[in-house]
Structure 1
Amino acid sequence: MWAFGAGAVDAGGVAPVKLAELAAYGMHAKAPKIERLKGTRRVATLLATMRHLEGVSVDDALLLFDLLMATKLLARAGRDEEKAKLKSLPRLRKAALQAESALRAALDTPMTQPDRSAQAQDGSQSGVEPVVRVTTAPEVIARIAQVVPIEQLEAALAVIKEFLPAEQDDADLEWRAELTNRFASVRGFVNCSPTRSRGAAPRPARR
Structure 2
Amino acid sequence: MSDNKRSPLYYEAPTELRRGLAALARGFEPRERAPGRFEWLGGLKLAAASLVTIAAVIVTRSASVPSAEDRVTQEVVASHVRSLMVSSHLTDVPSSERHTVKPWFNGKLDFSPSVADLSAHGFALLGGRLDYLGERPVAALVYQRREHKINLLTWPSSETADAKPKLVSRQGYSVFHWIRAGMNYWAVSDLNAEELRQFSELVLAY
When normalised by structure 2's length, the TM-score is: 0.28
| Higher normalized strand content (fraction of residues) | 2
When normalised by structure 1's length, the TM-score is: 0.28
Q: Per chain length, whose mean CA-contact separation is higher, i.e. which structure has more relative contact order (CA < 8 Å, sep 6+)?
A: 1
Structure with higher Rg: it is 2
| Higher normalized helix content (fraction of residues) | 1
